[in-house]
Amino acid sequence: MVLDANKLITVIICLILCIAAKKYTKTWLNPLSMFSGIWSIILFLSTLGLHGLKTASCNTYYVICAGVTCFAVGYLLTYKSRYSFTFNKSYKHAGNEYVLRYQVIYILGIICIIYFAIKFLSVASIFFSGNGLAAIRVMAQSEEAATTGGGKLLNAVRILLVMPYAYAIIPITAMEIWFGRKDKKVLFICLSIIALRVLSEGGRISVVYFALHLLIGFSLLESYAMRIHDLSKRIRKNRKKLRIGVLVLVVIVLLASMSRSMSSLSTVTYYYFSMQPYMQEIWSKAVDEAHIIGYGVGSFNGLIFPILYLLKNILGIPFTTHFSQVYDMILETDSQWQIISTYYTRANAYVGTFWYFYLDGKVFGIILLSLIYGIMGGRLYSKAKRHTNVKNACLYSFYMQSIALSFSGFAFSSMYYGLAFLFIVFIAYKKRGKE
């Protein structure tokens, strides 16, 4: 095994950014440390070429490194400016500016529970016949692929309401535990939806999400308490246990999910966190060959698709040719499996965040959109830390979910994530005392 020095340089740059951000913010749970840390791991593991993994060219590594660097620039500019040049040193109590619209949360929660309960009943025979969650997962994925083509009411309910709410309720509940009134009904709704999704869809990722948001919320609570010199004995005593417990839960569930279809846990884990450069190179060539430039449609499909979906199914206005080309290219990354190793291992989907940016503007798209993504992270993190309330914490935590999954793709390209983000921003919360 011979390591490429040029590729290792990109690893070192990302690692330096990760450590520097930790030194600056005093925590690993900040957007830059997580983002650059994830990609330093990916770049390093991919350079090893273990288990016959095919490696990408140096140019792909340079492009990814440039993307991480531009993310860092955007993040540092925004976070530093908001953090350093604010003269108001008074801090309001966490969570006292915003409250949940509890009635909205309850009503939508009941609708979602009913939806997933009915869905579980439809697959219960598969589950109890001994096929387990793996068979249910295969069926759920096939159904997911078919949801975008029809105009049925059930599809609309799923796309525009049920799944976005299922995404949003997890960070909402986690922040409600730390910064809200700890409403038991909200917790019940969240746990019920998670359990029913696991049973009806076969996926475990929602459990990972919940653990991640609990950890991020606790990190913000700890930061807030230390800032006002009110670090309680309960926080001091339990913070290490909580961190370890949540991290162990995340790792166990994630590894269990990854091992559904492969026998070697070490091998599949390695592929999950090393294939991205090669997958990005394959699909970047596909973009070039198709002569497609998304101009933001690919990366922000999650915000654009619902609008076009409504126009198509209500007014009969078809998708534009440009949108269809971009959207079809995204779907192909899921449907077309690529050989990623000399052992003929096949993989799909894991193109990484930067491929979406490349789809929208080639190398310039990676530079610009990475910068914007970093600016967004710096802004949300600054607001969550300096003006801690339940809404700011929820938006930041939900953003961090996109960071944690950046090795898979860009979260805002998902219609469920995009609508969930808008739900948190405009619907889920109201100012205290405002009707």
Task: Give 272-290 pLDDT, tens digit per residue.
Answer: 999 999 999 999 999 999 9
List 339's β-bridge partners, or say none. 346
Where residue 145 falls among pLDDT bands split at 50, 70, 90? low
The Cα-based distances of 199 to 49, 116, 135 in angstroms read: 37, 9, 11
**How confident is the model over 1-58, as pLDDT tens digits?**
668 999 999 999 999 999 999 998 888 999 999 999 999 999 999 999 999 999 999 9
What is d(CA 353, CA 42) in angstroms, rounded to the nearest whole number?
12
- Residue 236, pLDDT above cutoff 90: no
The predicted model gives 116-143 an average pLDDT of: 68
- Residue 428, pLDDT above cutoff 80: yes
- Residue 106, pLDDT above cutoff 70: yes
Q: Could you tell me the sign of the dihedral formed by the alpha carbons of 70, 62, 258, 142, in that order?
A: positive
Q: How many CA atoms lie within 13 A of 389 on its CB side?
A: 15
Task: Give the angle subtended at the CA of 220 by the CAs of 218 and 224, to the nearest 5°.
Answer: 115
For tokens 């490349």, name the residue.
358
Tokens at 351, concatenated? 């193109």
The Cα-based distances of 201 to 169, 174, 433 in angstroms read: 17, 22, 39
For tokens 């593991």, name the residue.
45
227 vs 426: which has the higher pLDDT: 426
**How confident is the model over 331-341, as pLDDT tens digits?**
999 999 999 99
